[in-house]
């Protein structure tokens, strides 16, 4: 940039001129508006007068030149620095054309102290290169190549900027015009491992210094460590015991007591002292509980005050909203101007919003109080098993309530839509867009509510159909039970009559229900099994038990045998609907009384 070129020119002009030819050097420095200074910072000519801008042995300079002022004026950024001819002992440097663009350079590597110099004369030596570039600063090393270029390493980074000033100069050795004695210098940044290593070392050193500085800052702002806990003694024990009784010093004393106990100071000799201190700490619990109760009481009082104040504010809001609504009626509304009506409607909306917010807040406080009261009054309910019918009835009732609430909400939305339609006719054109959006939102809400209502009604119909099915099944089961009871009573009567007619002495084996010894054994085993199961068992359960004894026993045989012995075994039905189950019970003791 122009600023960088100006800074480079200011820093890098004074070089390469011997003391025997100060005129050219001073002319170049005066053209840049600078006093002629050497590279070390000392005046090049001791008799230079900055007030006059004149030097001994130099012809008078034009008074319009900027170097004549006491304070040199700043060089504008658009004006390029004027480069002059530089004379050295063995060579001469001619400046490039000022109208040409500045020579291009690569990106500067970090910590760059090495430059690449190209375009050297073929007859150039290291002495000539040192003579040209030693004025830029201390040269550490020169690595010259056979192909007319070299690398120069300086001691500091700023010296590289001074060396870049010479880029574009034409060099001529002595007064020779031979091609091998001339060349055009090209100076650019060079990337060297030594420069990168030194730069990384410097960055690490800066990072260490930064870490050290941060550590010092943290230590400075770190809170001081707590004071050390005193060792146990009888005197210190009495002091701590007194502090435990004082509310202001309790925290310090309890920390000391905890440290003593953890250190293992408790023994047989000091056990009584420690017990008394622990007892004092226990008594502090009562003080803390009382303090908490006092704070809770203050909080309840503050809640009550807040609730009363909020209710008063709500009353005032209601009155203000009532004033706005009364002013919005046609009797008074026609007398206001359009601007006044607009202001009143805006104020009314704002007041209603604030009132609703405060009302919700008050209702939330009351709801919390009711929940707290209900939590205190709730007792553990006794576990009761509800049947499927009662569950369906409760669900149907809940669906009815939800259906009613949805209908009420639908009516409310319809009323709001009608009110919005009425207000839309009265409102101005500016509010049409907002009301149309509200209408769309309300219509969407109505559609959603209607869909939800239809879903609830379908579910309600399904639940009613299920309830009717359950009731029909229940009636069928009741009729079946009645028929079974009638059949049992008729069979018992027939058996009684047949027993009266037949003589027990004349019964033969053919008329007996048990026809073989195997059936007698089965009757005994089944009677013993059902006697162990007083609530009865299914025919499958009985057969599974008998099949363990004899795998040839079949279910039909056992069921026929048990139906023949009606005074010994009785069949009962249990369950409802799909869970209906037939169970066999042993009734031999009752049958003995009947026979």
Higher pLDDT pick, 433 / 512: 433
Residue 230 has pLDDT above 60, yes or no: yes
Report the pLDDT averaged over residues 149-176.
91
Average pLDDT for residues 438-443, to the nearest whole number? Answer: 89
pLDDT band at 197 (very low <50, low <70, confident <90, very high): very high
Query: Stretch 89-94: mean pLDDT, rounded?
Result: 88
Q: Tell me the Cα Rg of the chain.
A: 57
Q: Are 16 and 135 in contact (CB under 8 A)?
A: yes
pLDDT of amino acid 486? 83
pLDDT reported for residue 150: 94
Average pLDDT score over residue span 505-517: 59
pLDDT reported for residue 122: 87
Please tell me the distance from the alpha carbon of residue 492 to that of residue 242, in angstroms, as a whole number: 95
On whether the CB atoms of residues 168 and 99 are closer than 8 A, the answer is no
Residue 174: pLDDT over 90: no
pLDDT on residue 50: 43
Structure tokens at 570: 């009785």
User: Is pLDDT at 579 greater than 80 in this prediction?
Assistant: no
Q: According to the per-residue pLDDT averaged within each range, which of 11-20, 461-470, 581-590 is highest? A: 461-470
Which residues are 152's β-sheet partners? 115, 142
Q: Cβ–Cβ contacts within 10 Å for residue 161, how many?
A: 20
Do domains 86-201 and 517-592 share one topology? The answer is no
Q: How far is the C-alpha of 336 from the C-alpha of 327, rounded, in Å?
A: 9
Q: What is the CATH number of domain 517-592?
A: 1.10.10.10
Q: Is a pLDDT exceeding 90 seen at residue 138?
A: yes
More confident residue, 440 or 366: 440
Helix (H) or strand (E) run with residue 170 in it:
strand 170-173
Helix (H, G, I), strand (E, B) or coil at 243: helix
Can you give the pLDDT at residue 115?
95
Q: Where are the domains of the chain?
A: 86-201, 234-299, 310-368, 517-592
Is the pLDDT confidence value at 253 over 70? Answer: yes
Q: What is the pLDDT of residues 293-351, one digit of tens each?
A: 999 999 989 988 888 888 888 888 888 988 888 888 888 888 888 888 889 889 988 98
Interstrand relation of 182-184 and 581-586 (parallel, antiparallel or unpaired): unpaired
- Poorest-confidence range of 48-62, 91-105, 351-365, 453-467? 48-62
As given in the structure block, the two tokens for residue 253 are 């004393």
- The structure tokens 């663009």 sit at 101
DSSP characters over 119-167: ---TT--HHHHHHHHGGGS-EEEEEE-TTSEEEEEESSSHHHHHHHTTT
Confidence tier at 588 by pLDDT (50, 70, 90): confident
Tell me which of 50 and 163 has the higher pLDDT.
163
- In tens, the pLDDT along 378-427 reads 544 444 445 566 667 777 777 887 787 787 778 777 877 887 777 777 66
Mean pLDDT computed over 134-140:
91
Note the pLDDT of residue 590. Answer: 76
Lowest mean pLDDT among 4-8, 231-235, 254-258, 559-563: 4-8
CATH architecture of the domain 86-201 equals 2-Layer Sandwich (3.30)
- Residue 5's pLDDT is 39
pLDDT in tens, 44-85: 444 444 443 333 344 443 433 443 333 344 445 455 567 888
Q: What is the pLDDT of residue 415?
A: 78
Lowest mean pLDDT among 21-35, 212-226, 306-320: 21-35
Tell me: pLDDT of 165 over 60. yes
Sheet with 139-144, side-by-side order of all strands: 139-144, 149-154, 114-118, 186-189
* Arithmetic mean of pLDDT, 482-494: 78
């Amino acid at each position: 940039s122009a600023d960088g070129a100006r800074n480079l020119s200011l820093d890098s002009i004074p070089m390469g001129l011997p003391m025997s030819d100060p005129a050219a050097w001073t002319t170049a420095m005066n053209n840049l508006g600078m006093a002629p200074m050497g590279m070390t910072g000392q005046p090049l000519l001791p008799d230079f007068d900055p007030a006059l801008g004149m030097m001994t042995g130099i012809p008078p300079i034009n008074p319009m030149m900027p170097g004549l002022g006491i304070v040199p004026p700043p060089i504008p950024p658009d004006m390029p620095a004027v480069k002059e001819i530089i004379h050295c002992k063995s060579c001469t440097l001619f400046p490039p054309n000022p109208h040409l663009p500045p020579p291009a350079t690569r990106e500067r590597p970090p910590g760059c102290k090495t430059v690449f110099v190209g375009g050297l004369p073929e007859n150039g030596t290291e002495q000539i290169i040192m003579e040209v570039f030693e004025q830029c600063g201390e040269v550490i090393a020169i690595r010259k190549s056979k192909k007319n270029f070299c690398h120069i390493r300086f001691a500091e980074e700023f010296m590289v900027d001074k060396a870049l000033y010479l880029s574009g100069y034409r060099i001529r050795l002595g007064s020779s015009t031979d091609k091998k004695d001339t060349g055009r210098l090209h100076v650019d940044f060079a990337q060297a491992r030594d420069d990168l290593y030194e730069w990384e070392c410097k960055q690490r050193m800066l990072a260490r210094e930064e870490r050290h500085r941060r550590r010092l800052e943290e230590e400075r702002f770190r809170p001081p460590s707590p004071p050390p806990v005193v060792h146990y003694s009888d005197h210190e024990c009495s002091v701590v015991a007194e502090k435990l009784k004082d509310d202001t010093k309790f925290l310090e004393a309890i920390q000391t007591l905890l440290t003593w106990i953890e250190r293992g100071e408790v023994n047989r000799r000091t056990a009584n002292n420690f017990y008394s201190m622990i007892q004092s700490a226990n008594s502090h619990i009562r003080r803390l509980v009382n303090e908490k109760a006092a704070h809770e009481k203050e909080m309840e009082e503050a809640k009550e005050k807040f609730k009363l104040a909020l209710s008063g504010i709500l009353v005032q809001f209601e009155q203000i909203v009532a004033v706005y609504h009364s002013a919005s009626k046609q009797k008074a509304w026609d007398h206001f101007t359009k601007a006044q009506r607009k202001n009143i409607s805006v104020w009314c909306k704002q007041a209603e919003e604030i009132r609703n917010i405060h009302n919700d807040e008050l209702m939330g406080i009351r709801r919390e109080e009711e929940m707290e009261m209900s939590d205190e009054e709730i007792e553990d309910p006794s576990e009761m098993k509800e049947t499927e019918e009662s569950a369906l009835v409760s669900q149907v009732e809940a669906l009815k309530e939800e259906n009613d609430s949805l209908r009420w909400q639908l009516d409310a939305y319809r009323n709001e839509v009608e009110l919005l339609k009425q207000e839309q006719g009265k409102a101005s054109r500016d509010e049409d867009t907002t009301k149309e959006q509200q209408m769309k939102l309300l219509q969407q809400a109505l559609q959603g509510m209607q869909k939800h209502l239809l879903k609830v009604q379908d579910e309600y119909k399904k639940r009613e159909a299920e309830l009717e099915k359950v009731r029909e099944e229940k009636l069928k089961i009741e009729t079946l039970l009645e028929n079974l009871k009638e059949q049992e009573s008729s069979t018992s009567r027939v058996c009684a009559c047949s027993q009266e007619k037949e003589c027990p002495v004349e019964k033969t084996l053919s008329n007996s229900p048990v026809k073989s010894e195997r059936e007698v054994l089965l009757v005994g085993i089944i009677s013993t099994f059902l006697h162990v199961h007083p609530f009865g068992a299914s025919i499958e359960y009985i057969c599974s038990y008998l099949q363990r004894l004899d795998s040839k026993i079949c279910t039909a045989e056992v069921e026929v045998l048990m139906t023949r012995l009606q005074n010994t075994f009785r069949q009962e039905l249990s369950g409802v609907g799909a869970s209906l189950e037939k169970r066999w019970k042993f009734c031999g003791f009752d049958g003995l009384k009947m026979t």
